[in-house]
């Protein structure tokens, strides 16, 4: 009767005892209160309302009873018909000496960790049992992290953009489109001629036209009909975006204008198409946006169109510009960048004297080393070795063609019909040439 209504409470302002089932699948860490009644050595466990996170509330997890240490060794028939207990009926139960802060007790197979006890319990242990309860056990109170939402893999239903939009919203919504790009490039297509890159001979004669829409990036493939081949033309691929080979299905990459040029291979659902031609609008688009395309792609289309004779105006314009540059380069030009840099060098001879400055391109070359620079001088004017002698002097001309003398040569001139003289010699101008070389 001395311990009537005296209870040992293993409590904690936050946690009393913890049910640790994290080693099991779906197990959690939950808090409870454990009561030990000194009057009859019974134990009860009460559930806290803090555990009501989507669960039904149960006030008592364990009703008031004696708690065996090993519940599997309980006697089958209890109590016995005899007044004295047999050895099969004797079992060990938890006593106050077993309830120490920081220890783990087993309640019918479930592990409970004692975190702390109240003030009365600590005084009772110090006075009656001469035991000191340890300080409160502190658990890791790190805040719960929200589970990271991961985008599910693409299942192949619809497009990846549709699947991603359904993931972000409960009500499926169509992906947003770039309206400005669509309005600017509506009805603009880049067309290429293609053939199948295959080993089957019957497919090598098939011809296709690949069209890339600049508005939405979709690709359309149309097959041309070939006479006497048994192949009917028509649509081979409806407008859709085509994945690049080897890309991630969850984050796909699509064919764009920069990937298409003459000589490139386009893989469409395991069909390999090789681009062999392009229209004139493709080259004009490349000229307008050269930063998108590589120089190899631009050159491939330009060479094809030049061979087909579609760039005559461009070729004529380029020729005229080149001819104007050549004409401008023939006149006097200023000192070039290379000459400006060479003028800064000082090349001295063995005596330490610096050479003369670099002359103009038409001046004589300036040697360096021990040689001396020759001054530039204009060549003297020589009289013409082939003078033109008038007709009056021809009448008094020389009559011999000996060496080292003048040689007279005459050439006929058509007769003047208005001349009134008869029997007069034919008029003509005669030239005298020196035989020696000048």
**Structure-model confidence comparison of residues 433 and 204, the more confident one:** 204
Nearest to 17 by CA among 137, 141, 136, 112: 112
Q: Kindly list the structural domains of the chain, giving each domain's residue range(s) and its CATH number in brackets, ordered by start.
A: 7-77+87-127 (2.30.29.170), 181-312 (2.30.29.170), 381-438 (no CATH)
Burial class, 356, CB count within 10 angstroms (exposed 0-12 / middle 13-18 / buried 19+): middle
Can you tell me which residue has the tokens 């009767």? Answer: 1
Mean predicted confidence (pLDDT) in 387-400: 52
- How far is CA 266 from each of CA 226, 283, 308, rounded to the nearest angstrom? 22, 19, 23
Helix (H) or strand (E) holding 295: helix 295-308
Are 19 and 110 in contact by the 8 Å Cβ rule? The answer is yes
- How far is CA 296 from each of CA 283, 290, 309, 310, rounded to the nearest angstrom? 13, 11, 20, 19
The pLDDT confidence band at residue 396, using thresholds 50, 70 and 90, is low
Q: What are 253-291's pLDDT values in tens digits?
A: 999 999 999 999 999 998 999 999 999 999 999 999 999
- pLDDT given at position 393: 56
- pLDDT given at position 353: 46
The pLDDT confidence band at residue 403, using thresholds 50, 70 and 90, is very low
Q: Which residues of 366-385 are buried (b: 16+ CB within 10 A; e: fewer)?
A: beeeeeeeeeeeeeeeeeee
Mean predicted confidence (pLDDT) in 23-39: 81
Contacts 24+ apart (CB under 8 A), 395-404: 397/430, 397/432, 403/435, 404/435, 404/436
- pLDDT given at position 311: 85
What percent of the chain is predicted at pLDDT more than 90?
20
Q: What are 76-113's pLDDT values in tens digits?
A: 555 555 555 555 565 788 888 888 888 898 988 888 88
Cβ neighbours of residue 236 closer than 8 Å, sequence gap 6 or more:
208, 221, 222, 223
**Structure-model confidence comparison of residues 222 and 60, the more confident one:** 222
Give yes or no for residue 352 having a pLDDT over 60: no
Give yes or no for residue 329 having a pLDDT over 80: no
């Amino acid at each position: 009767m001395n311990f009537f209504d005296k209870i040992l409470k293993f409590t904690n302002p936050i946690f009393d005892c913890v049910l640790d089932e994290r080693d099991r699948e779906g197990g959690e860490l939950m808090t409870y209160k454990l009561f030990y009644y000194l009057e009859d050595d019974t134990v009860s466990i009460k559930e806290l309302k803090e555990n009501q996170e989507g669960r039904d509330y149960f006030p008592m997890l364990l009703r008031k009873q004696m708690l065996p240490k090993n519940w599997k060794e309980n006697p089958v028939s209890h109590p016995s018909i005899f007044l004295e207990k047999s050895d099969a009926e004797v079992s060990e139960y938890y006593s106050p000496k077993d309830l120490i802060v920081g220890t783990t007790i087993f309640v019918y197979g479930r592990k409970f960790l004692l975190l702390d006890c109240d003030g009365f319990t600590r005084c009772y242990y110090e006075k009656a049992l001469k035991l000191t309860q340890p300080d409160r056990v502190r658990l890791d109170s790190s805040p719960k992290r929200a589970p990271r939402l991961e985008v599910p893999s693409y299942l192949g239903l619809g497009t990846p953009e549709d699947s991603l939009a359904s993931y972000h919203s409960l009500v499926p919504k169509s992906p947003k489109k770039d309206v400005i790009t669509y309005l600017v490039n509506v009805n603009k297509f880049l067309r290429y001629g293609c053939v199948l890159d295959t080993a089957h001979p019957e497919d090598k004669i098939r011809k296709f036209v690949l069209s890339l829409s600049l508005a939405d990036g979709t690709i359309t493939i149309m097959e041309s009909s070939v006479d006497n081949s048994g192949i009917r033309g028509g649509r081979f691929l409806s407008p859709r975006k085509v994945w690049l080979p080897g890309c991630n299905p969850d984050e796909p990459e699509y064919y764009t204008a920069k990937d298409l040029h003459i000589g490139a291979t386009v893989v469409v659902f395991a069909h390999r198409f090789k681009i062999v031609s392009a229209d004139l609008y493709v080259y004009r688009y490349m000229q307008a946006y050269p930063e998108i395309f590589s120089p190899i792609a631009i050159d491939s289309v330009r060479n094809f169109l030049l061979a087909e004779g579609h760039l005559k105006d461009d070729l004529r314009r380029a020729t005229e510009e080149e001819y104007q540059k050549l004409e401008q380069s023939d006149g006097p030009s200023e000192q070039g960048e290379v000459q400006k840099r060479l003028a800064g060098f000082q090349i001295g001879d063995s005596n330490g004297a610096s050479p003369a400055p670099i002359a103009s391109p038409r001046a004589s070359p300036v040697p360096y080393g021990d040689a001396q620079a020759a001054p530039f001088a204009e060549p003297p004017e020589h009289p013409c070795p082939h003078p033109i002698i008038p007709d009056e002097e021809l009448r008094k001309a020389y009559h011999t063609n000996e060496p080292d003398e003048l040689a007279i040569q005459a050439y006929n001139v058509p007769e003047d019909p208005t001349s009134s003289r008869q029997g007069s010699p034919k008029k003509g101008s005669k030239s005298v040439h020196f035989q020696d070389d000048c």
